[in-house]
Chain A
Amino acid sequence: MRWKLAERSEASLKVSEFSVTSEGSGEKLVLSDLLGPVKTSSSLAVVKKQLNRVKSKKTVELPLNKEEVERIHREVAFNKTSQALSKWDPIVLKNRQAEQLVFPLKKEQSAFAPIEHVLSGWKARTPLEQEVFNLLHKNKQPMTDPLLTPVEKASLKAMSLEEAKMRRAELQRARALQSYYEARARREKKIKSKKYHKVLKKGKARKALKDFEKLRKVNPTAALEELEKIEKARMMERMSLKHQNSGKWAKSKAIMAKYDLEARQAMQEQLARNKELTQKLQVASNSEEEEEGVEEEGDLVPDAVNEIQMDADGPNPWMLRNHSRGTKEAKGQDPEQLPDPVAHEASESEEEEDRPGAEEETLLNEFEERRSLRRKSGLNQDAEPVSRQEPKDSSSQEVLSELRALAQKLNKEKNQSGKQNMSSTRTVPVVQREGPPKAEEEPLLLQRPERAHTVQELEELAKEGCFQNEEVPRPGREGQQTERNPNTQPGVPKEKKRKEQMIDLQNLLTTKSPSVKSLAIPTTVEELEDEEERDQKQMIKEAFAGDDVIRDFLKEKREAVEASKPKDVDLTLPGWGEWGGMGLKPSAKKRRRFLIKTPEGPPRKDKNLPNVIINEKRNVHAAAHQVRVLPYPFTHHQQFERTIQTPIGSTWNTQRAFQKLTTPKVVTKPGHIIKPIKAEDVGYRSSSRSDLSVVQRNPKQLSIRHKKQLKKNSVD
C-alpha cells in the first residue's frame, strides 16, 4: 500500500508580525522592498543614507576554517625550513664526495702566543738554565729579537766615520781588483785556441829554464836543491795517477783511438809525458853510476820478461792473471827455446800492422804494464822518505819536464865522458826506467845468471825483430817512440834503435795473447767474456740438441688452426637410392649433394702473426674470475679496465704515491667522541629561535596571496 505524505503548511508564517518572509510570494526579498515604505518619512533619511553607504561597500570575506589555516601555516613553515636547510647542500655534497674525511671534524686549534709572552712567563729553574741565563745576560745578548747585540752596537758606534769610509773604499778597491782578475782569468780560460795555450805553457817553461840556468851559474847549491825538488815532483807524479791514461778523458780517448788518429796521438803524447815525468834523473856522482851499472843489466831486459820472472814467484795473484795470457808461452819455456816464439811473433807482428785495433791494444797493454810496474814500486816508495808535496798543476809539471830534460842533457855529457871507466861494453842508456825494487830483487838473486843470459839472447833477437819491423812503415808506433824519448838526440842514433827494439819486443810479447781474435773489441777482458758466452751458447746448443722448438710451434699452430676451422657436415646415408653394403661407397654425386658446407668463420686473429697462437675460445677457468657486467658507477668498460689496470701496491708505486692511493675514506681517532656537524664548524651561523618568527598567528590576517597559493596547491 502507498499513502501520500501529508503536506504541511504553516499559516502562521504569513501572519507573523515579527518576521518577514518572502514565502508565498515566490520572490526574493530585497533590501529595497523593505525600504520602500520608509520613503515618505523624512526622519529616516539618515538611516537610509547609511544603508546606502553600506550597500556600496563590499562584504567582508568569511574567515578560513581552522584546518585550512593550519595547513597554510604548516606550508609556510615548511618552505622556510627547507630553504634554511638547503644551506647545507654544498657541505653535504662536499662531504659525500670527499676523498677522505677525518673525524672528529673540529680540530683543536693550537694557541699561538707571541714569544715575548712566553719568555716573560718563563723563569730559569735548573742550575744549568740559570747558568745559561747568566751568560746571556752578561753578554747582554738580546732575548727576543736578536738583530744586533748591545756589544755590536757599541762597536759600531766606536768606529769613526772617517775610518769607516776609508775602510769601505779599501774594501771596494780590493773587491774591484779581485773581480777584474777573476774576469781576466775567466776570459783566458775560455780561449779555445790550443796554440795559444801551447805558447803560453812554453813561455812559462822557457822562463823557468832560464831561471834555473841562472841559478846554476849563480848558486849551484840552490840549483841542486831545485833539482831535488824536481825529483820529488817526479815521485809525486809516479804516485799519482796523472798521465796514466786512466782518467775519464783517457778512457774516452781510448774508445776514440780506434778511429781517430789524433786521439791516438794525444794518448801517446800523454804516455810519453808520463814516462818523461817518471824518469829518474841521474845525479852526477860516480859512485852512483856504478851502482846503476849493476842495475842496468837488469833494466836492459824488457819489462815483460822481468815480470814473467816475478810471476814465477807469484807475489801478486792479480799480476799473474794479468799477464798469464800475454806471457804464457814465455813462462814455460827455457831461455833457449825462447827465440822461436819470438821470431814467430815478430813475423806475426807484420800481420798485425793491418789490423785496426792492434795498435790500440798495444797501447792498452802498455798502460797495464805501467800500472803493474807502479804497483810493484809502490812498496819501494814506501821505504823511501817521501816528503808529501801538494800535487802540482799541469803547467808546473810542464816546467818540470823541461827542467828534467835539461838535467838529462847534463848527465849525458858526463856519462859520455866517463864511458871508458865502465866495465861493461854495452852502451848505457842515459835514462833508465824504474827497475823493480831492490827489496824484491833480493830473492830473485839466484836467478840472476839465467836472466843475464836471457837478456843477451833477447837482445840479439830483438835486433832481428827490429830490422824486420823497420821495413814496415809504422806511423803511429814511430810517433809514439819519438814522443816517448824526446830527449834522445840525433847524436845517439844507436841508442835510439836499441830502445826501439826493446819496446817493440815488449809490445810483441804483451800483445801476443790467445784471445786476440775479435779485433773489434778493444780489451782482452771483454774478449774473454765473449768467449765464455760463446762457450755457453755452445753448451746450450748441445744440451738441447734434440729440440726443434720452432718446428714444434709451427706444427702446433697448424693443428690449432685446423681444429678451429668449422667442419662440414656429411649427411649421406649409404644405401639410400643405391646399392649398399661392404666395399660400396655412396656415389660422389650423392655425397656432394648431402654435404652441408659450413660457412667460413671470421678470420683468425693470429692469421698475420706467425709467432703467436691466439686461442679464441672462452676460457672457463679464467671467466670465473672475470667481471661479467659493467659495475654501477662506470659508464664504459674501458673506464673500469683502467681502474683495474693501475696498480696501487707499493711494489709498483713510490712510497708517497702508495700512501696517496691507499688513503682510507673515513679516518676516526680511537677514543674520540665524534660530535654531530655544527654550523659554526663550517662557517655558518647556527639557526636560532628568532629565525622563523615571521609566521603570523592570527588567521584573520592571513593574506590573500597565501590563500591563492593554498588553492593552487590544493588543485595540484
Chain B
Amino acid sequence: MKVKMLSRNPDNYVRETKLDLQRVPRNYDPTLHPFEVPREYVRALNATKLERVFAKPFLASLDGHRDGVNCLAKHPKSLATVLSGACDGEVRIWNLTKRKCIRTIQAHEGFVRGICTRFCGTSFFTVGDDKTVKQWKMDGPGYGEEEEPLHTILGKTVYTGIDHHWKEAVFATCGQQVDIWDEQRTSPICSMTWGFDSISSVKFNPIETFLLGSCASDRNIVLYDMRQATPLKKVILDMRTNTICWNPMEAFVFTAANEDYNLYTFDMRALDTPVMVHMDHVSAVLDVDYSPTGKEFVSASFDKSIRIFPVDKSRSREVYHTKRMQHVICVKWTSDSKYIMCGSDEMNIRLWKANASEKLGVLTSREKAAKDYNQKLKEKFQHHPHIKRIARHRHLPKSIYSQIQEQRIMKEARRRKEVNRLKHSKPGSVAIVSEKKKHVVAVVK
C-alpha cells in the first residue's frame, strides 16, 4: 500500500550557514498566479495612496536672517554648507546637518544682490547695492582677526548679480552691462552690452564654460561667449525674465523664469521656439534651479510656493508651500539631488525633500526593491483615472487655489475667443499660433 505523506528533504530548505541565502522554492507557472493585471493594479493603487500618505517634504526651517533672504549659494565641495544673503546686507553660512548658522557677515550696505562660491570652495563672492564686489574666505577669521573681505572692488554702478566660472579664476557680474572679471584685477577684462537696460542676472554654462546667459529688464535673454567678448543672440519674450539656469547635463539647454508666471526651456541654438513652456505658477516666477541630474528643476514664485517640474513636462509634478512661507525669492537644488532649499521674504530658509515621500536614510535591499517596484507600478498605471487622480491631488492654500481657478477661466475665455475669431474670419486670415511660439516676441541676431 502506498502511503502518501509530506516528506521534505532538508537539503532543500535548510541552509548550511546563516550567511547562506534562504532557499525559497517558487513555481512560476502562470496558471498558479492568475489575475496579474488586476493584482498589479491594486498594488499600484495602494502604492500611489501610500506615496500620498507619506508625502511629508518639509524638513527644516533655518531662521536667523533679519530681513528677507535674497540669494542662496551652494558650496561646491560640501553638501552640508549653504550660503545665503539677505536684504539687509547680511551673509550667513549654514550647516545643514546641524541646521545651524555657523557664520554671519555683514557684507554690504543695503541688499546682498548676489552671492556665488568659487569652484574650489575656498572663497565666495558677494555683490551688493553699495556698488561693491567682495570676495570672502569660506573659513571664518582666526581668533582676534577682523571679519574682512579678501578683496573689495568698487564699481561705478550697482551690480545686480554675480556668477563664477566653473573652471577658471574668472567671474561675471551684471548691472548696466555684463562684466567679466579676472580675480586678480580690479577692472573687468571685458564688458559686454546689448541695449541699455539693467541686467538682472548672469549665469555661466556649467558644461561649455565659456558661455554665459543673462536676462535684462527689457524682456530679453542674451547669450554671450566669453572668449569672443561678444553677445551671441538675444531673444525677447512677452514679459521680463527674472533669472535663467543652465541644465547641468545638457550643454545647450537653459530654463528661464519669467514674470508671466511661466518658465521657458530653450535650446540655445534655436531660440525662436522654446522647447517647453512650463506653466503652473499663478504669479511671477522669481528663481529657478536645476537638479544636478538634469532631469528636473525647481522654481520659486511670488505666489508663495515652489514647484518641481520635469524638464520634458509642461506641468509641475510637485508643489511645496507652507502657511508661513511668503514670496519665495531664491531656490536651490542641493548637489546630491536629494533636497531643495528656498529662501523667502519672511527671513527663513527652508529645506525640503526633492521627493516628498522618499524615505531618508539607509534602505535595506528589500526596502529598495519594494520602492523600485512601487515606482515602476506607479509609472505603469499612471494613466488609469483613479491612480492619476490620487497621484495628482495636492492640497493648496486658498489663495493659490482660487487664483488657479481664476486663471483657468481667463485662459478658457481667451481660447474661446481665439476659436471664435478663427471660426468667423476668412480661412487663412487668422494665423494659429502655438502656445510655444506665442510668448516669443522676437529673436535678435
Interface residues of A, Cβ cutoff 8 Å to B: 70-71, 73-75, 77-78, 81-82, 84-86, 88, 92, 95, 101, 103, 318, 321-322, 523-526, 528, 624-628, 631, 640, 643-645, 647-654, 658-659, 661-664, 666, 668-679, 686-687, 689, 691-693, 695, 713
| In the complex, per-residue mask of B202-224: 1 if CB is within 8 Å of any chain A CB, else 0 | 00001111110000000000010
Q: How far is the CA of A92 from the CA of B207 in the complex (A)?
A: 12
CB of A652 within 8 A of CB of B28, answer yes
CB of A71 within 8 A of CB of B445, answer yes
Q: How far is the CA of A644 from the CA of B362 in the complex (A)?
A: 32
CB of A677 within 8 A of CB of B248, answer yes
Is the C-beta of B185 less than 8 angstroms from some C-beta in chain A?
no
- Interface residues of B, CB < 8 Å — how many? 60
Nearest-neighbour CB distance to chain A for B326, whole angstroms, equals 31
| In the complex, per-residue mask of B33-45: 1 if CB is within 8 Å of any chain A CB, else 0 | 1001101110100
* Interface CB pairs A-B, < 8 A, 11: A78-B445, A82-B252, A525-B2, A624-B386, A648-B380, A651-B33, A664-B372, A664-B375, A673-B77, A687-B208, A692-B228
CB of A643 within 8 A of CB of B380, answer yes
Interface residues of B in 366-423 (CB under 8 A from A): 369, 372-373, 375-377, 380-381, 383-386
Q: How far is the CA of A102 from the CA of B164 in the complex (A)?
A: 27
Partner of A85 from B37, B208, B336 at Cβ < 8 Å? B208
For A695, list chain B residues within 8 Å (CB).
Answer: 228, 230
Nearest-neighbour CB distance to chain A for B439, whole angstroms, equals 21
CB of B225 within 8 A of CB of A81, answer yes
Is the C-beta of B166 less than 8 angstroms from some C-beta in chain A?
yes
CB of A678 within 8 A of CB of B207, answer yes
The main secondary structure of chain B at its interface with chain A is loop
Q: Which of B28, B166, B249, B372 has the most CB of A within 10 A?
A: B249
Is the C-beta of B105 less than 8 angstroms from some C-beta in chain A?
no
CB of B293 within 8 A of CB of A78, answer no
For A643, list chain B residues within 8 Å (CB).
Answer: 380
Q: How far is the CA of A652 from the CA of B30 in the complex (A)?
A: 7
CB of B380 within 8 A of CB of A625, answer no
Q: How far is the CA of A202 from the CA of B8 in the complex (A)?
A: 45
Interface residues of B in 327-369 (CB under 8 A from A): 335-338, 362, 369
Is the C-beta of B183 less than 8 angstroms from some C-beta in chain A?
no
CB of B373 within 8 A of CB of A648, answer yes
The 8 closest A-B pairs by CB, nearest first: A674-B292, A676-B248, A676-B206, A647-B36, A82-B269, A78-B232, A662-B372, A631-B383
CB of A713 within 8 A of CB of B445, answer yes
Name which residue of chain B comes closest to A78, CB basis: B232
Is the C-beta of B197 less than 8 angstroms from some C-beta in chain A?
no
Nearest-neighbour CB distance to chain A for B48, whole angstroms, equals 13
Q: How far is the CA of A103 from the CA of B334 in the complex (A)?
A: 14
Q: How far is the CA of A625 from the CA of B41 in the complex (A)?
A: 9
Partner of B384 from A82, A84, A627 at Cβ < 8 Å? A627
Q: How far is the CA of A437 from the CA of B154 in the complex (A)?
A: 118
Q: How far is the CA of A84 from the CA of B337 in the complex (A)?
A: 29
Q: How far is the CA of A626 from the CA of B252 in the complex (A)?
A: 40
CB of A644 within 8 A of CB of B380, answer yes
Q: How far is the CA of A485 from the CA of B210 in the complex (A)?
A: 107
CB of B227 within 8 A of CB of A689, answer yes
Nearest-neighbour CB distance to chain A for B406, whole angstroms, equals 27
CB of A647 within 8 A of CB of B384, answer no
Nearest-neighbour CB distance to chain A for B249, whole angstroms, equals 5
Name which residue of chain A comes closest to B445, CB basis: A75
CB of A88 within 8 A of CB of B230, answer no
CB of A648 within 8 A of CB of B335, answer no
For B2, list chain A residues within 8 Å (CB).
Answer: 523, 525-526
Name which residue of chain B comes closest to A651, CB basis: B33
CB of A676 within 8 A of CB of B166, answer yes
Partner of B230 from A77, A640, A653, A659 at Cβ < 8 Å? A77
Q: How far is the CA of A655 from the CA of B335 in the complex (A)?
A: 33
Partner of A103 from B207, B232, B337 at Cβ < 8 Å? B337
Q: How far is the CA of A145 from the CA of B384 in the complex (A)?
A: 64
Name which residue of chain B comes closest to A647, CB basis: B36
